[in-house]
């Protein structure tokens, strides 16, 4: 596929109404989980993004029958005949390793190449290995492949050293195929963990406590196929809210879950943005210069690391000095150099960025170094003077459904052009 870039003419105010797509990080856990059913599942409200297409290719390579049209996917797992997804696909995304516990449950063995995904720092898998091992699997990661097998999976108590999203998902997915009860302590509480639990329960599993730090899973298959609608994307919602605030806009985001957005909404209110929430909509309006704030990323319900980058872009032009502390990933400030090329004044010391708000950014050529860095470049381009060119659009397409199209419909002067 030819490389593409975004051209943004900054300064246009975003106005109007826009619907948010289904959640990426929920989708990439729920689609592999559908393989655990003894009959087909239909999953609705899926985002049409590159990560979902890569997963479809992986499921087909494993023998599943998959149809995807609009936002609806039908997965027939009854023809799955392989426990080893191809490396060239698995390495394209982080969530490919969710196939390891799923295939382990089906075949009692799996060979899944080490996952890829955004380059944002250390992305260890020791807690996943711990969870699966405690449940009776032998896991070996020599040679860049997660090799896992078991004679019998039995529920256990698993204390996670950190509330890792990936380890929580992988331990839940192993536990539903184990006999007996598994208890995960210090589990991640993200909305997509709850969504995965709800999907598994709709297939006949018994997962309790998701959304708190203790999850109890009474294992035991068979599970059956299910018809399920996934949650809206928390990070797309937040990106649109930040973009609206950055342009002094007046935007209503529909199909969202406002309670998932509390950490961001609180920070935007502190900056002087007007926010109104009602049922599934969030109304964001701003005018005038916003105030500097401090932000610390944390697991849910704290401020999400995935919004740290677009939020920093907004803070580059807020009045005063802001402090952004990144507590989840150890290398999620690489994109700061790109913002500096547009005139931002940012000093990074270890995991903290100190941002001195400037009057304006000026458009230039920048690169999206990863998915959410891409969102940051878009926010910067929207609020900058003049023209911004963003390369590395493939990163953005991995995780946002038609973000350029959605912003364009709100009045942004954004075009997708060949590199």
Residues near ligand EPZ (CB under 6 A): 24-25, 28, 94-95, 118, 122-128, 162, 164-167, 188, 235, 305-306, 328-329, 371-372, 399
Residue 25 annotated in ligand binding = yes
| 168 versus 286: smaller Cβ distance to ligand EPZ | 168
Of residues 262 and 356, the one with the C-beta less far from ligand EPZ: 262
94 assigned ligand-binding residue = yes
Give min distance, CB of 113 to ligand EPZ, in A.
Answer: 16
Task: Copy the structure tokens of residue 413.
Answer: 């002067």
Question: Rounded to the nearest whole angstrom, what is the least distance from the CB of residue 125 to ligand EPZ in the complex?
Answer: 5
- In the complex, the smallest distance separating the C-beta of residue 288 from ligand EPZ, rounded to whole angstroms, is 31
Residue 24 assigned as binding residue: yes
Smallest distance, ligand EPZ to C-beta of residue 170, A: 9
Considering beta carbons, is residue 28 or 407 the nearer one to ligand EPZ? 28
Task: Tell me the two tokens of residue 158.
Answer: 């698993």
- In sequence order, which residues have a C-beta less than 8 Å from that of residue 361 and are 6 or more positions away? 10, 316, 317, 339, 342, 343, 344, 380, 383, 384, 385
Q: Which is nearer to ligand EPZ, 2 or 142 (CB)?
A: 142
Pair 146, 112: CB distance under 8 Å: yes
Q: Least CB distance from residue 287 to ligand EPZ, whole Å?
A: 30
**C-beta closer to ligand EPZ: residue 48 or 250:** 48
Q: How far is the CB of 99 from ligand EPZ (least distance, A)?
A: 13
Choose between 47 and 357: whose C-beta lies nearer to ligand EPZ: 47
Residue 162 among the catalytic residues: no
Question: Which residue in 34, 73, 118, 290 is the catalytic one?
Answer: 118
Distance CA 238, CA 378 (A): 13
Minimal distance in Å, beta carbon 334 to ligand EPZ?
Answer: 13
Minimum CB distance to ligand EPZ smaller for 76 or for 338: 338
Q: Structure tokens of 237? A: 């919602």
Mark the binding-site residues for UDP-N-acetyl-alpha-D-glucosamine, compressed into ranges.
94, 306, 328
Catalytic residue IDs: 118
Mark the binding-site residues for phosphoenolpyruvate, compressed into ranges.
24-25
């Amino acid at each position: 596929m030819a490389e593409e870039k975004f051209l943004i003419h900054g300064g246009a105010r975003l106005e109007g109404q826009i619907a948010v797509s289904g959640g990426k990080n929920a989708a990439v856990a729920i689609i592999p989980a559908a393989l655990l059913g003894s009959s087909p599942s239909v999953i609705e409200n899926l985002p049409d993004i590159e990560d979902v297409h890569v997963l479809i290719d992986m499921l087909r390579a494993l023998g599943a029958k998959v149809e995807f049209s609009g936002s609806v996917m039908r997965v027939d797992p009854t023809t799955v005949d392989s426990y080893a997804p191809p490396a060239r696909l698995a390495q394209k995304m982080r969530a490919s390793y969710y196939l390891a516990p799923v295939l382990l449950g089906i075949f009692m063995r799996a060979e899944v190449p080490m996952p890829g995904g955004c380059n944002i720092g250390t992305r260890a898998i020791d807690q996943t290995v711990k969870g699966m091992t405690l449940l009776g699997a032998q896991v070996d990661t020599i040679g860049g492949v997660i090799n896992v097998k078991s004679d019998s999976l039995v529920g256990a108590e698993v204390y996670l050293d950190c509330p890792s999203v990936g380890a929580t998902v992988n331990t839940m997915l192993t536990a539903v195929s184990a006999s007996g009860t598994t208890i995960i302590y210090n589990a991640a509480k993200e909305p997509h963990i709850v969504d995965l639990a709800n999907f598994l329960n709709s297939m006949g599993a018994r997962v309790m406590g998701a959304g708190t730090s203790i999850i109890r899973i009474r294992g035991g298959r068979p599970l059956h196929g299910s018809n399920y609608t996934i949650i809206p994307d928390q990070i797309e919602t937040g990106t649109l809210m930040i973009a609206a605030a950055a342009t002094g806009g007046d935007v209503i985001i529909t199909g969202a879950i406002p309670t998932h957005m509390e950490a961001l909404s609180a920070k935007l209110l502190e900056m002087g943005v007007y926010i109104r929430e009602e049922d599934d909509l969030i109304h964001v309006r701003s005018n005038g210069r916003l105030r500097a704030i401090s932000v610390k990323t944390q697991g849910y319900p704290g401020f999400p690391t995935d919004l740290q980058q677009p939020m920093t872009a907004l803070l580059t032009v807020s009045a005063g000095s802001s402090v952004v502390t990144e507590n989840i990933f150890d290398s999620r400030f690489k994109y700061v150099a790109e913002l500096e090329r547009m005139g931002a004044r940012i000093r990074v010391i270890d995991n903290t960025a100190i941002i001195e708000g400037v009057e304006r950014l000026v458009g230039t050529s920048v690169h999206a170094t990863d998915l959410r860095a891409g969102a940051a470049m878009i926010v910067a381009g929207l609020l900058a003077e003049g023209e911004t060119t963003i390369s590395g659009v493939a990163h953005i397409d991995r995780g946002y459904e038609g973000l350029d199209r959605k912003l364009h419909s709100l009045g942004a002067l954004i075009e997708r052009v060949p590199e």
